[in-house]
Amino acid sequence: MQLITVTFERVFDIRRERRGGRITRPVTEFSFETTDKDCPLAVMVPGWPELVSGMTVTTLLRNQGDWRSLAGWVNLRTGEIAARSYGRELVFGLAFCCLSVASWFLVYGAGAAGSISANRIGAQCLVWVFALLGIVELVLAFRFYRDRRLLKKVVLSSGVQK
């Protein structure tokens, strides 16, 4: 991960939309120019943050120098944090883990028969699918939580008043 402080000299091609399947997330796609660095085109940031020319932000890039890996930023003037929220992933991760445990009790519980049938094999697969989905969602929730926590430390260290 890399923290970079950059000033947007010019911001253009701003497009705000909702992306995702059934549960959509707000994202902002934009381009910018700076005086000291190459300017990436079509940078995407979570949410609909304030975007004005002349604003200074500290960005969090997952991969060094790769603006496509932008995880979020802190507006150094206002203290606004633009980053993914982890609540949805946390709720879904816990729900899938609970479904996995409940399915496990149905398949392997005290009343489960010892015979192997197609239904039982299907139910065993369902237990593992729920467990895998739960783990993936919880890992994503932790990742987004870690990103937001790091950006909040930037806010505290910069002395920005929200």
The phi-psi region of residue 91 (left if phi > 0; otherwise alpha if psi is between -120 and 50; otherwise beta) is: alpha
The confidence score (pLDDT) of residue 132 equals 93
Instruction: Give the pLDDT confidence of 113-149 residue by residue, as tens digits.
Output: 555 555 677 778 888 899 999 999 999 999 999 888 8
Instruction: Give me 127's structure tokens.
Output: 């237990």
Instruction: Give the pLDDT confidence of 9-60 residue by residue, as tens digits.
Output: 888 888 888 877 667 788 888 888 887 666 666 788 888 888 888 888 888 8
CA 68 to CA 57: how far, in whole Å? 16
More confident of the two residues 108 and 80 = 80
3-state secondary structure of 136: helix
The confidence score (pLDDT) of residue 139 equals 94
- For the cut 70, the answer to whether the pLDDT of residue 97 exceeds it is yes
Model confidence pTM above 0.95: no
Per the CB < 8 A criterion, the answer to whether 159 and 77 are in contact is no
The confidence score (pLDDT) of residue 84 equals 85
Nearest Cα residue to 73 out of 98, 97, 95, 55: 55
